[in-house]
Amino acid sequence: MNALQERILKEGRILGNGILKVDSFVNHQVDPTLMNECGRIFADLFKHVGATKILTAEISGIAPAITTGIHMKLPVVYARKNKPITMPDQVYLTLAPSHTKGRMVELIISPEYLANDEKVLIIDDFLASGQTILGLVRLAEAAGSKVVGIGTLIEKLFEGGRDALKPTGVPIESIACIKSLDNGKIEFVD
């Protein structure tokens, strides 16, 4: 069992409807040592894909993307959910449903930071239905870039995200794969 799985078992809380709360170490309060270890794992898993840039979504994907970027020596771009006034008028924008927010969210990237011919590695916190990551794939493709890999901290296999992403044809790696949250118990894939 890896450090992320151990931490999920120790501090993760099942809130029902397939929601796993890990905000004490991933996305509200961040454990930088754990995220650094996850970044090292992703860097090793994706060292041969030829990535030139890492892409993630605001805000929960930023910590693992940054640490992966440090280990791979790559810049990190994150899709924003609100367009600041500093962003140009012409942007790449897509919509994706958010399970935890219960609504559609915008994903916005400035063309200044995602250009033609980039080889993009997507790193995010969760792979559940795959809709946020598919939104990131759409943004990368709109910019003329190619997605070369997808990495997630936690994959909830029972939500079908991996199947939704299979048509991308890129390698998908998750550090902690959960097969069930039934009966208040977290069950990992061995």
Distance CA 84, CA 165 (A): 30
Mean pLDDT of 4-29: 95
User: What digits encode the pLDDT tens for the residues 35-63?
Assistant: 999 999 999 999 999 999 999 999 899 99
Asked if pLDDT for residue 99 goes beyond 80, the answer is no
Q: What confidence tier does 98 reach under pLDDT thresholds 50, 70, 90?
A: confident
Cα 150 → chain centroid: 8
Pick from 40, 41, 72, 38: which is nearest to 54 by CA? Answer: 72
What CATH topology corresponds to 3-188?
Answer: Rossmann fold (3.40.50)
pLDDT of residue 89: 87
For 132-182, the pLDDT digits (tens) are 999 999 999 999 999 999 999 999 999 999 999 999 999 999 999 999 999
- Angstrom distance (rounded) from CA 130 to CA 95: 13
Q: What is the mean pLDDT of the chain?
A: 94
pLDDT band at 69 (very low <50, low <70, confident <90, very high): very high
Q: For the range 11-17, what are the long-range contacts, defined as Cβ-Cβ under 8 Å and sequence gap of 24 or more?
A: 12/186, 14/181, 14/184, 14/186
Each domain of the chain, given as residue ranges in start order, spans 3-188
HEC states along 74-128? CCEEEEECCCCCCCCCCCEEEEEEECCCCEEEEEEECCCCCCCCCEEEEEEEEEC
Instruction: Tell me what pLDDT residue 93 has.
Output: 93
Give the model's pLDDT for residue 65.
Answer: 98
Predicted confidence band of residue 82 (pLDDT cuts 50, 70, 90): confident
pTM score: 0.95
